[in-house]
Amino acid sequence: MRIVIVGASGNAGTAVLRRLGRESGVELVGVARRLPGADAGEPYDGVRWHSCDVGAPGAADRLAEIFAGAAAVVHLAWQIQPSHDQRTLHRTNVGGSRAVVDAVLRAGVPALVYASSVGTYAPGPKDHPVSERWPATGVPGSSYSRDKAEVEAVLDAVEAEHPSLRVVRLRPGLIFQRDAGTEIARYFLGPLAPVRLLRYGRLPLVPAHRRLRMQGVHADDVADAYARAVLGDARGAFNVAADPVLSPELVARHFHGWTVPVAAPVLRAAARLTWHARLQPVDAGWVELALAAPLMSSHRAETELGWHPQVDALTALKDLFTGMSTQAGTPSPPLSTSPDLPGRPTALLKAKPPGHSNPY
C-alpha cells in the first residue's frame, strides 16, 4: 500500500512517519520543499523522498507524477511563517492545497486525508464542546483561520463534484511533542522569550481571560488518528483533542505560576504592537483565534475511528515545554535546531527578525 505524505518532515508529519512506519506492507513516500538529509535516521529513513514546493507554479504537475499509484495522500503541508508576508502564506496554504487536490484527482488517488484544524471553526463556546457540524467558516481577523476555512470550502466543492473520492478532514487542537520544542518556540514565541525557565518546570506568569481555554493533543495521538483515517474507510470531518481543557488556571497550577487577568483588548494590542516592532513572530490574529475558537468534542473520532488519546493534554504540554527548554528537535529542516534560523537569538543578531524570512 503506497501512501504519500505531503509535508512529511514537520511536527505532525514526523509523528505520522513514526506511526505508519510500524505498519507492515506500507510504502511511505514523503514530499517536502526541503528534504531531510540521507543521514537523518528514524523516522525519515526508509521513506522515498521527493522535493516539491506545493505553492510554486506547476506544482500540481509534479505532484500528480508523485501521487501516481498511491492508495492515499495525506496533506499536512502548511506554512505558519513568515507572518509579515501574508501573500507567501496564502500561496503555500491555499494555493498549495489546491495543487494537492488537483494532483490527487489527476492521479486517480482514491483517498485524501487533509490536515484541517480547530482553527477552521467559526467562533464558538468555551463552556461545552461542539461537534463537527459547527460551521467551518473561520474566525474573522485570523489569517490562519481564514486560510483553513477557504481550503475546507475547496474540499466541499471537490466532494460534491467527485463523490468517489474519499475525503477525510482531521481537525486537531494544538499539537504538542518534545521534538517540536525548538520549532514551536521559533514560530510562535521568537528569540526573546525566556524558554529556558521552563527547564525548571516553572511558568511564572500566565495571562488569564475567561475565553483563553484551549485543547491540546500529543503528536503521536494525532498520528494515530491519521493512520486510522488512511487505513480505514471513514469519510468526513473528525475533531481530535485530548482532555483536560487547558485553562490559564490549570496551566499556572501545574507550572508553579500565577495567573494575571488581562482584558481581551490588551491582549490584542500587546500582540499587535510587539509584532509590528518585530519583537515576536505572531500577529493579533492568533490572539483572536485563541479567544474565539470553540472547544471540540472528539466523540465521532472515538466511535467511528476507534481513536482514543494515550497522552492527556497536560502531559503533552509538559512534553512540549521540556522540548522548548532543552532546544529539542530533529534533523529535518522544519524541526531543525540550527541557531541561524529566524526566531532564534543568533538569527536576530544577523538581522533576521522574527516573522520575516522563510524559517523552513
Across 168-189, b (16+ Cβ under 10 Å) vs e yields: bbbbbbbbbbbbbbbbbbbbbb
Rounded to 5°, angle at Cα 353 from 81 and 196: 85
SS3 call for 303: helix
- Classify residue 218 by its DSSP letter: E
25 pLDDT above the threshold of 90: yes
**What would the mean pLDDT of 328-342 be, rounded to a whole number?**
94
Contact 167, 154 (CB under 8 A): no
What is the distance between the alpha carbons of residues 44 and 15, in angstroms, rounded to a whole number? 10
351 pLDDT above the threshold of 80: no
Neighbouring CB atoms inside 10 A of 301's CB total 26
Instruction: Give the pLDDT confidence score for residue 233 in this predicted structure.
Output: 97
**What would the mean pLDDT of 266-278 be, rounded to a whole number?**
97
Q: Fill in the amino acid letter for 72.
A: A
359 pLDDT above the threshold of 70: no
What are 86-95's pLDDT values in tens digits? 999 999 999 9
What is the distance between the alpha carbons of residues 35 and 74, in angstroms, rounded to a whole number? 17
230 pLDDT above the threshold of 80: yes
What are 181-202's pLDDT values in tens digits? 999 999 999 999 989 889 888 8
Instruction: Give the pLDDT confidence score for residue 358 in this predicted structure.
Output: 67
Q: Selecting from 3.40.50.720, 2.60.40.1180, 3.30.360.10, 3.40.50.300, what CATH number does the domain 2-174+216-243 have?
A: 3.40.50.720
Q: Residue 91, Cα to own-chain centre: how many angstroms?
A: 17
Please state, rounded to an integer, the average pLDDT across all residues of the chain.
96
Instruction: Give the pLDDT confidence score for residue 360 in this predicted structure.
Output: 53
Instruction: Give the pLDDT confidence score for residue 117 in this predicted structure.
Output: 98
Hey, where are the domains in the chain?
Answer: 2-174+216-243, 177-215+246-293+312-349
